[in-house]
Chains A and B, each alone.
Chain A
Amino acid sequence: MKVKLKLYATLGKYLPPTAKRNEIDLTVDETTSVLDLLTSHNVPMETCHLILVNGVFSPPANAANATLKNGDIVAVWPPVAGG
């Protein structure tokens, strides 16, 4: 199935050089979890503070159980804030 991975701020360095605009389209197995997706790109989980799947918060502590569906968009940030 196809998913999109977006890594922002200091996590952008974990994307392959072919990535543009902080995102990349990927083909992954049906059982892939958020944790699988991030570890396969060597993203340290302790740096993943905010994970949105299709814009909805997905608790980092639950990343192993968050199984992805075809077309999902996973966006991840380290601790950030603003206003």
Chain B
Amino acid sequence: MAWMRKLLRVNLTTGNIVEEPLNMEWAQKYLGQRGLASKYLTEEIDPKVDPLSPDNKLIFCTGPLTGTSASTGGRYSVITKGALTGAIACSNSGGYFGPELKFAGYDMIIFEGKAEKPVYLTVIDDKVTLQDAGDLWGKSVWDTEAAIKSKHQDSMMHIASIGIAGENQVLYSCIVNDLHRAAGRSGVGAVMGSKNLKAVAVRGTGGVKVDDFMEFMKTTEAGKKVLADNAVTGEGLPTYGTQVLMNVINEAGALPTRNSRDVQFEGAHDISAEAMAEPSGKDGKPNLLANQGCFACTIACGRISKINEEHFTVVNKPEYWHASGGLEYEAAWALGAATGINDLDALTYANFICNEQGLDPISFGATLGAAMELWDLGILNSEITGGLELKFGSAEALTAAVEATGKAEGFGAELGMGSARLTAKYGKPELSQTVKGQEFPAYDPRGIQGMGLTYATSNRGACHLRSYTVSSEILGIPEKTDPLVTEGKAGLVKAFQDATAAVDSAGLCVFTTFAWTLEDIAPQVNAACEGEWTVDTMLEAGERIWNLERQFNNQAGFTAADDKLPERLMKDAAKTGPAEGLVSGLDVMLPEYYELRGWTADGVPTNETMARLRL
């Protein structure tokens, strides 16, 4: 139960679509979503495959609690070999697409091969059809969703699609569902574009059965009460969203600024949650209009925002005057602090374009920050950029760059390579703030030491959502640790990584863990699913998933030498704030982490570890 026990296998080369039973033996070991789809991927592709070749596969997968009434049970993930990184990619999204796939009767869709011409897939209960997408190719995500709903005369469809960025295989393009929820990182949109797959449109009329209904209702209601009673999930996140972190992280001296030259941004307040709530524009309305929840979510942290109609970005573009998915913290950081831009409306516009054209705003903003440093050093000039003046702090540059990158036009095509390739092309690879080719997000490892180890060891390249030690090191959840020291961080990172892998595989949102522990989650999973799901078995599944991902990356050619941070973080001390004088202590933390993981000094899981985890 909870699993639909069926997957769809869609061969885009032949057009063949088959329904297969879900491998329930694997489901018992890898749970669902991130874990289960990673198992399928690692069994089915050569780890050395070119991510953009037809031999790569693209998997949309839900978790067992997706589509249930468990709070936040609306998640799905896209698993593939990442276009940006060459590592295993798992990008997680909310909204309503994942539950709709379950309602149609499927846990997972595996896409193989490459369509000869652009296509999209419709899944209308058990009617599954590849459709011609010739008239959709070239359309934005927003126009694609409208066109498909109109064509099928069904406004209740939920659609995941790529924009022009994905079509052009911009290496950090994403897959967007429900207009502004995204499987954002690692370039999963580029893989979709490489397969000539424009969209997946789903409509389901069934439901999700659980193993023990009464127990499930009891445990999920108890879980909802914990979320409601918790000050963070019950009040802080719905009121201010993730953007409330902008001033927190800036005060803590860990806000990477101007491509990590600095750790504090003088314009942080201007682009913060507090600024979003202040009246602006001729109508006196604030940037932030409302909060919004995904399917079954009782937190509702999402932001719905509006751009000041008089702002230069939209004054002549009324098509952008509507409300849409607004700034979340990571996007606001990348588009703002990483580039030194403190213009909230310009950031909101750039974020709209990222949603509309299917770009990961974290990698885009961080790449633009790196390009701005190349400009500042005189390595880039307007002849190379086609007239783009990439000065730190320029909202005009941000606006022009995001439009050009989404369309892969002019210098935008170079920005679309990501900062690792861009800085290498111009002879300054050390300026790329990446791990395994992926731009790191909004926390400077000099000021939050655990995040350095988090980035270095993340299996999908630098990422905050694999082990969010900020929760402990800054926010004191579940208990406060000192962000400036390395002691204890190896164990903290491992614990967060294993628990997060389990949550990501259940179909739940990791934001629940600001209030929930696995003590709250395991009973809900256990009531929904066959098998014995306890805190211990979930942690074991999480550790197994982490090692499975690591094994794939090792087989793809990654080594311990790739578990490293950019030179700047290891050599250039923070200039201000509590971390002044500090660099990352990764060299101290990494050997301890390998040992705790049961890996060799070269970062390879030992035979004993593999056997213990039944890998």
A residues whose Cβ falls under 8 Å from a Cβ of B: 6, 8-10, 12, 21-22, 49-50, 52, 54-57, 59, 73, 75, 77-83
Complexed CA–CA distance, A79 and B476 (Å): 10
CB distance from A12 to the nearest CB of B (A): 6
Complexed CA–CA distance, A81 and B514 (Å): 7
Complexed CA–CA distance, A73 and B252 (Å): 11
Chain A residues with Cβ under 8 A from B207's Cβ?
none
A22 and B577 form a contact (CB under 8 A): no
CB distance from A44 to the nearest CB of B (A): 13
Partner of A80, one of B232, B330, B480: B232
A6 and B468 form a contact (CB under 8 A): no
B248 and A80 form a contact (CB under 8 A): yes
Chain A residues with Cβ under 8 A from B96's Cβ?
none
Chain A residues with Cβ under 8 A from B237's Cβ?
80-82
A81 and B577 form a contact (CB under 8 A): no
Partner of A79, one of B232, B247, B251, B511: B232
Q: Which residue of B lies closest to A49 (CB)?
A: B231
Chain B residues with Cβ under 8 A from A8's Cβ?
244, 247-248, 274
A22 and B464 form a contact (CB under 8 A): no
Partner of A82, one of B231, B243, B480: B243
In the assembled complex, B239 has its CB within 8 A of some CB on chain A: yes
Known: A59-B480, A79-B236, A81-B242. 9 other contacts (CB 8 A): A6-B247, A49-B231, A49-B476, A57-B482, A73-B251, A80-B232, A81-B232, A81-B233, A81-B511
B232 and A56 form a contact (CB under 8 A): no
Chain A residues with Cβ under 8 A from B474's Cβ?
50, 57
| Tier of interface size on chain B | 35 or more
B251 and A83 form a contact (CB under 8 A): no
A75 and B251 form a contact (CB under 8 A): yes
Chain B residues with Cβ under 8 A from A82's Cβ?
237, 241-245, 248, 301, 328-329
Q: Which residue of A lies closest to B239 (CB)?
A: A10
Identify which of residues 474-527 in chain B touch chain A, using a CB-to-CB cut-off of 8 Å: 474-477, 480, 482, 510-511, 514
Complexed CA–CA distance, A34 and B253 (Å): 20
Partner of A81, one of B236, B253, B269, B578: B236
Given A81-B232, A81-B514: A75 touches B475 (CB 8 Å cut-off): no
Complexed CA–CA distance, A57 and B447 (Å): 13
Chain A residues with Cβ under 8 A from B253's Cβ?
55
Complexed CA–CA distance, A75 and B482 (Å): 17
Partner of B273, one of A9, A52, A57, A83: A9
In the assembled complex, B569 has its CB within 8 A of some CB on chain A: no
B476 and A80 form a contact (CB under 8 A): no
A56 and B269 form a contact (CB under 8 A): no
Chain A residues with Cβ under 8 A from B511's Cβ?
81, 83
B240 and A80 form a contact (CB under 8 A): yes
4 smallest beta-carbon distances between A and B, as pairs? A82-B242, A79-B231, A82-B245, A55-B578
Complexed CA–CA distance, A56 and B476 (Å): 12
In the assembled complex, B368 has its CB within 8 A of some CB on chain A: no
B240 and A57 form a contact (CB under 8 A): no
Chain A residues with Cβ under 8 A from B245's Cβ?
80-83
In the assembled complex, B37 has its CB within 8 A of some CB on chain A: no
A21 and B269 form a contact (CB under 8 A): yes
CB distance from B235 to the nearest CB of A (A): 7
Complexed CA–CA distance, A75 and B242 (Å): 18
Complexed CA–CA distance, A10 and B482 (Å): 26
Complexed CA–CA distance, A77 and B248 (Å): 8
CB distance from A18 to the nearest CB of B (A): 16
CB distance from A7 to the nearest CB of B (A): 10
B269 and A52 form a contact (CB under 8 A): no
Partner of A52, one of B231, B241, B251: B251
CB distance from A61 to the nearest CB of B (A): 11
Q: Which residue of B lies closest to A82 (CB)?
A: B242
Identify which of residues 295-353 in chain B touch chain A, using a CB-to-CB cut-off of 8 Å: 301, 328-330
Identify which of residues 267-282 in chain B touch chain A, using a CB-to-CB cut-off of 8 Å: 269, 273-274
Partner of A57, one of B243, B244, B476: B476
Complexed CA–CA distance, A78 and B231 (Å): 8
Complexed CA–CA distance, A9 and B244 (Å): 7
Complexed CA–CA distance, A76 and B474 (Å): 13
Complexed CA–CA distance, A81 and B244 (Å): 7
Q: Which residue of A lies closest to B274 (CB)?
A: A22
In the assembled complex, B465 has its CB within 8 A of some CB on chain A: yes
Chain B residues with Cβ under 8 A from A75's Cβ?
247, 251
CB distance from A55 to the nearest CB of B (A): 4
Query: Which of A12, A52, A56, A83 has the largest number of chain B CB atoms within 10 A?
Result: A83
Given A54-B578, A80-B248: A9 touches B236 (CB 8 Å cut-off): yes
In the assembled complex, B470 has its CB within 8 A of some CB on chain A: yes
Complexed CA–CA distance, A81 and B477 (Å): 9
Query: Which of A8, A10, A75 has the largest number of chain B CB atoms within 10 A?
Result: A8
Complexed CA–CA distance, A12 and B514 (Å): 23
Identify which of residues 219-275 in chain B touch chain A, using a CB-to-CB cut-off of 8 Å: 230-233, 235-237, 239-245, 247-248, 251-253, 269, 273-274
